[in-house]
Amino acid sequence: MRCEICGKKIVGKPLKTKIDSSVMEVCRECSKFGKIIREPTTPRKKSFRRPTKRSRRPMDTVYEVVEDYGRIIRSEREKRDWSREDLAERINEKVSVINRIESERMEPDIKLARKLERLLKIKLLEKFEADDLEKTDGGQFHGATIGDIARIKRG
């Protein structure tokens, strides 16, 4: 085998050396131009992680945004003397989103509603337990249907 730097025939075992960002097999004399990479004495076993299984529990809690959420948000914002731009900046949202929420053309998702609740210290989400929804087929729960949600929303 020949040295990848000088081209001389290598006597003995070549040394793996990192020179600049390349790993080369070189002779002893040329190994001084880089850092010698030592091979591990025992071969490492390749370990792999098994993906953790997320336990999926049945949907037992349903959150709904309260009615008249736009008026509640607007009144709290105005109490604090904030503009829509100020509120948008504080919760890291666009002003157009705040406009649509306050005019109730858009209902905030759960994540956004929680941000608004924390910042404005108001209650925007109502929690419904699975027990509150109707059970069908001999007491087995099959999830909420659109009719169930409409019935809950009407109250």
The pLDDT assigned to 13 comes to 86
* Residues 92-111, mean pLDDT to the nearest whole number: 94
pTM of the model: 0.49
* Residues 119-132, mean pLDDT to the nearest whole number: 81
Average pLDDT, whole number, for the chain? 82
Q: Is pLDDT of 66 > 80?
A: yes
SS (H, E, C) 57-111: CCCCEEEEECCCHHHHHHHHHHHCCCCHHHHHHHCCCCHHHHHHHHCCCCCCCHH
Burial category of 74 from C-beta neighbours within 10 Å (exposed 0-12, middle 13-18, buried 19 and up): middle
Q: How many CB atoms lie within 10 A of CB 85?
A: 11
The pLDDT assigned to 70 comes to 95
Closest by CA to 119, choosing from 80, 64, 62, is 80
* Residues 84-110, mean pLDDT to the nearest whole number: 95
The pLDDT assigned to 155 comes to 57
Q: Which domains, from first to last, does the chain contain?
A: 1-38 (no CATH), 61-154 (1.10.260.40)
Q: Is pLDDT of 136 > 60?
A: no
Choice between 52 and 74, residue whose per-residue pLDDT is larger: 74
Choice between 44 and 83, residue whose per-residue pLDDT is larger: 83
Find the Cα–Cα–Cα–Cα dihedral 5, 6, 7, 8, rounded to 10°.
-130
The pLDDT assigned to 108 comes to 94
Q: How many CB atoms lie within 10 A of CB 90?
A: 15
H or E stretch including 36? strand 35-36
